Amino acid sequence: MNTLPPKTFAIATRVAALFFILSTVQVRAEEAAGDWTGILAGQLHIVLHLTKSTGGHYSASLESPDQGAFVLQAENVEVSETHLGFSIPKISASFEATWDADKKSWTGTWKQGQSIPLTLWRLGTNSAGPKRPQEEAIAAAPRPYQNREVTFDNLSAKVKLAGTFSVPVGPGPYRAVVLISGSGAQTREEDISGHKIFVVLGDALASCGIAVLRYDKRGVGASSGDFAVSTSVDFASDVDAAVAFLKTRLEVDQTKIGLIGHSEGGAIAPSVAIRNPSIAFSVLMAAPAMRTDKLTVLQEALLAKAQGVPENVIAARTALGETLYSGLLAAKTSEEAAATARQLVAQAVAGKVLPVNAAEATIRQVTSPWFRQALGYDPVPVLRKLKTPVLVLNGLLDLQVPAKENLALMREALMDNAGATIVELPNVNHMFQTAKTGSPAEYGQIEETFSVPALKTITDWVVAR
């Protein structure tokens, strides 16, 4: 095996932080040579072997014990008193970290199409990571619902989707919801940074007497299909199939089927709801109202600022993003888009705006079918057509779908929808955790998977429908 599993690299939004590099903290590290370990996305163990030659040069290799006996050689290894970095071209991955003297660890970001926080401790020290009390409580106690493994077909796409159908105990039929995950290769759990977001959300809903369907994206987990070539349009088609499945179930009240989408899922939900009369309501969690190219530039700047990247570097990356995305939108063919991306990324590398080891991953990301389809998408015209009840939630610490700019557009788009409710959640990030800064670096370190007030807001609103 020469790649890490796709589900490992999901983060709430697929377009965030393409050019994100952690800032350096000037604290002396201990000697870096030796073996280091961490848990990627809260589930995949990583072991890094760092070797120092007599001449003082470092080399590195990486293995994942969870995936069997294979070793990947690292390139471009850079080690200083405060910085550790390397790339693994074979799997289009890179890692950049700074030394945390208090925790005696390398704290940084793993990039493999997505940006994922990763902390490495010296092998043999405590690297178990934070607990997940909400998920542990769900696993430990009997629940007032049954989880059933189900499959359903998207006949037009010739895709079979696999999921979990949670049905409350007691007489039905029940109102029901489809959970639509955010961007990336998400399973039915929406596992991000070691948090199973949809497990906690699904439990809260099912415990309130609401049937819940959550499923693996096409090409992920137990679902068939090809995730790599799929776009948001394809994923919306899969939501149609999920709704059609619910309409076949005797446990479901056919007049009370709703959609709950997170991030990209929150952009998909309205597009399904305006064309499908079966949809009675929608909940949009951190759903973008901004056009994707503009949102991407803004979120990249906010994420970089949160990590202390100098303003001049942020300005240069913002200019690069604006030029790159404009060029991609103007490209008429995939070949033209690839040529544009290569030219602009090469210029960025030459100007030291983008590190060499991020160049190829960036090109692949921005020229993927998903990104090209998403880049010019403007949610506002779709939101204006949404007339069924809708609950919109945005955390005020969300750096990926910033509440101030996003909700201004959302309010305007939904001004004629009498059933629209818009809620700003203080101290809540893009993952719907109670947070301090909103930075993705916090996601995996926070023990809470889902803010309790946010859960109550969603369940109360759905029950009231």
According to DSSP, the β-strands at 75-79 and 34-40 are unpaired
Domain segments of the chain as ranges? 6-122, 133-290+379-464, 292-375
Q: Which of 3, 73, 96, 11 is nearest to 444 (CA)?
A: 11
Q: Which residue has the tokens 């610490």?
A: 397
> What distances in angstroms separate CA 434 from CA 2, 86, 191, 316, 443, one per listed residue?
36, 32, 17, 32, 10
The rounded distance, in Å, linking the Cα atoms of 426 and 428 is: 5
Alpha carbon distance 394, 377 (integer Å) = 20
Task: Tell which CATH architecture fits domain 133-290+379-464.
Answer: 3-Layer(aba) Sandwich (3.40)
Would you identify the CATH topology of the domain 6-122?
Lipocalin (2.40.128)
Going residue by residue through the chain (465 aa), what tens digit of pLDDT does each one get? 333 433 333 333 443 433 332 222 334 456 888 888 888 866 677 889 888 887 778 888 888 765 654 678 889 999 988 899 999 888 888 999 999 887 788 999 998 867 888 889 887 665 555 789 999 999 998 999 999 999 999 999 999 999 999 999 988 899 999 999 998 889 999 988 778 999 999 999 999 999 999 999 999 999 999 998 999 999 999 999 999 999 999 999 999 999 999 999 999 999 999 999 999 999 999 999 999 999 999 998 998 888 788 899 899 999 999 999 999 999 999 999 999 999 999 998 898 888 887 788 888 889 988 898 889 899 999 999 999 999 999 999 999 999 999 999 999 999 999 999 999 999 999 999 999 999 888 888 899 999 999 999 999 999 998
**Cβ pair 154, 216 in contact under 8 A:** no
Three-state SS for 69?
Answer: coil
